Structures are given as structure tokens and as C-alpha cells.
Structure 1
Amino acid sequence: MNIEIEHRDDILIIRPLGRLDSSSSPELEQLLTEQLDAGCQRLVLDFSGLSYISSAGLRVVLLAGKKLRASQGKIVLAALQDMVHDVFDMSGFLTLFAVARTLDEGLAQV
């Protein structure tokens, strides 16, 4: 998995590419932890390039959401591929997070 990082004003966009599973989730978790500990309050996770997410990946997203909620921040999940969307749906995570069809819609929501 590769991870692209982009800043638009005070919004952090993180774009994981490939598969987010038990072998790649520690890298994303470390990156998110560093950014949130540094004061990031507005986060968009752009999943347009993510083809697969496992329970380990869901855990990382959940941890980021909890940290942001505790600090009154916002997180939006954007551009979920069908398979990734199905995993979020089956796990009940779609009720926990704001979800946008596109990155631009996600930026508008955060």
C-alpha cells in the first residue's frame, strides 16, 4: 500500500492506495496518529484508490474517528469503492462516519 498526503488549507487529505490490511494498517495508523497529535482537526480519508480493507484497516479508521471526536474535530470518508463501501456497510461503520461520494463533496462536509 502507498499513502498520498495532501493539504488544502487546514484540511488534511489522506489517500491510501491498494490494500489496507494487517500488514499495511500500522503505517496508516502511525501517520494518522502523528497528524492528529500535531493538531489536525479536519480530515478527509479519500478511499478512491483503495481496493480492499480488512478489520485491521477498519480499526485504524475507528481510532482516528474517536481521536477527532474527542478533540471536536471532523472526519469524512470519501469516494469509497463498491467493495470497500460494502465492508463499511456490513460492519456498521457507515452509521459512525460522514460519507461522501467524491473528494470534493467530502471537502465540503468537513
Structure 2
Amino acid sequence: MAGDTCIVRPVGYLDDATGREMRAAFQEPLQRGVRRFVLNLQGTPVINSQGITQVLELVEELVYDQQGSLALVGVSELYLEVFRTVGILHLVRTFPDEASALQR
């Protein structure tokens, strides 16, 4: 946590299993009423299609279901294009680092 914002930093290969773990990390803060989140993907150099699905489901849950906001940090150009293609980028903001995301 940084003030009223929860930061989640998955590490390693982001697939279905690690994606589920990542999404689970958001649940406790959501239950406490947190609605501002940062997902730092700097530690996840590879995201497979199931990991992309987990990120998409996370965005849908946070933005649509919980009326929250999500900032993405440390996303490579490749995954920015993937997220753009699947329609995530119009729902979230991207930042080069956590400090920038926290100032939003």
C-alpha cells in the first residue's frame, strides 16, 4: 500500500496460475474499500495468453464491477500492443514507474 493505493508486483512468468495469484492479491484490499490500484509488471518479462486473460478479467472486475481505477506500470511495448488489441488500454492508464502512477 502507498497511501490509499494498493500496489501489486507479480514476479516471473505470468500464466493462468500466477495470474490467479495476482488477482487474489487484489481481493483483501478491495474488501477493505481500496479502489485505487497499481499493477507493476516490471518483474513479469513473459505473459502468455492465459496471463493476458487474467489481466483482462482483473481490469473488468476493478473498473466495471468495483468502480475502481487501475494503473499499469512497467509494461513492455509488446504487451502494450497486446493490451491495446484486447481493449484494456482505454480502461486503464499506463505509467513508466510507480512514482508517476501514484501521482495520478
TM-score interval for Structure 1 and Structure 2 normalised by the shorter chain = 0.7 to 0.9
- CA apart distance, 1:47: 1.1
Q: Where does residue 3 of structure 1 map in the other structure? A: none
Q: Where does residue 100 of structure 2 map in the other structure? A: 105
CA deviations on 1:3-57 (whole Å, 9 max, x unpaired) are xxxx111111111111110232221122223332332211000111110112322
Q: CA 1:63–1:22 in 2, change beyond 3 Å: closer, same or farther?
A: closer
Structure 1 contact 78–106 (Cα < 8 Å) conserved:
yes
Q: CA 1:38–1:59 in 2, change beyond 3 Å: closer, same or farther?
A: farther
User: What is the alpha-carbon root mean square deviation over aligned residues?
Assistant: 2.0
Cα distance in structure 2, aligned partners of 1:17 and 1:67:
21
Structure 2 residue 12 is the aligned partner of structure 1 residue 18: yes
- What is the TM-score when the length of structure 2 is the normalising length? 0.79
- Aligned pair count reads 103
Structure 2 residue 5 is the aligned partner of structure 1 residue 41: no
- What is the TM-score when the length of structure 1 is the normalising length? 0.76
Bigger strand share: 1
Structure 2 residue 90 is the aligned partner of structure 1 residue 59: no
Identity, % of aligned positions: 29
Structure 2 residue 88 is the aligned partner of structure 1 residue 96: no
